[in-house]
Amino acid sequence: MRAIALLRDAPRATARSVSVFAGDVGRGLLEISHNTLALVGLAAITVIVLGLGRPEVRHEVEVVALEWLQTRHEVREQASGNLLSAVAEPEAVTRATAADLKALPNAQANLATWIARRYKVAPEPIGALVREAWAIGQRAGLDPTLILAIMAVESSFNPFAQSPVGAQGLMQVLTRVHDDKYEAFGGIHAAFDPITNLRVGVQVLKECIQRAGGLQEGLRYYVGAALMETDGGYVGRVLAEQGHMRSVADGRKVAVNVSNVPVAPAIARDTETPAVPDEQPKPVSTEQVALLR
């Protein structure tokens, strides 16, 4: 009977023995692997610390890490299709011709706002031009509203304007004639930089006034009409626009759509005398204009 009982318990005993054996082996392996991982980790830390302690190794690691990060960034940007990230230029704002109107004196801010509304341009770049007109006008002994009025009549504040005879930019300076004046600003392409064009234009205007001996005749020289019998109303438009701008700068209300065409005084005619048609101005060649302006 006892032999039969032992045979009956044998499977259970074998199972317990196998379970104990497997548990012991598993615990042993786990302890060994823990110790091995600890040793590997310790070795890796030691290598890293010793390696980073050497400047040349640290530099190589930094270069490799930076290249990897840059590559990852480029891959992400290409995947997202973000063009601006590829052509970003944070310093581009330094090239912008713009000013905060809140930082300008009241007269300049009021005038910049009025010009922006009248000519449908942004107030920030106009603010920069108004500020520069005040600064360069003081140096040149010219009224800043005269400078701004010339820009208004000449180009309507379009810095890329060009006339049929080659006058360019805000002040419509003949670049090929006054190329020497642009040398101080890096060359003739500076004609399309608003501030540079303004400064060169003021120099040309000052020379014209000095040559003519007065403002109105100087304006005729500036527009190239000194040899013509009429300036086509240019001087009158400039002076009328200047008057509007002075009023705005002085704090007076001026409609943005006010005309700058002066009203000609009425001329009494003898009803029995037939009217004589106005004589057409004699044509002036491009070469004559270039010599005057």
CA dist 120 and 156 (Å) reads: 9
Amino acid 215: pLDDT: 96
Tell me the longest C-alpha to C-alpha distance in the chain: 163
What φ, ψ does residue 178 adopt, rounded to 5°?
Answer: -110, 35
Amino acid 26: pLDDT: 64
Tokens of 81: 């299709």
Amino acid 60: pLDDT: 77
CATH class of the 101-265+276-292 domain in this structure: mainly alpha
Nearest to 112 by CA among 148, 70, 76, 78: 148
Report the first-to-last Cα separation within the chain, whole angstroms: 136
Name beta bridge partners: 162: 168
- Residue ranges in the chain modelled with pLDDT below 50: 266-292
Nearest to 289 by CA among 235, 225, 209: 225
- Residue 164 carries which DSSP code? T
* Residue pLDDT, tens place only, 58-88: 777 777 877 877 777 666 666 656 777 778 8
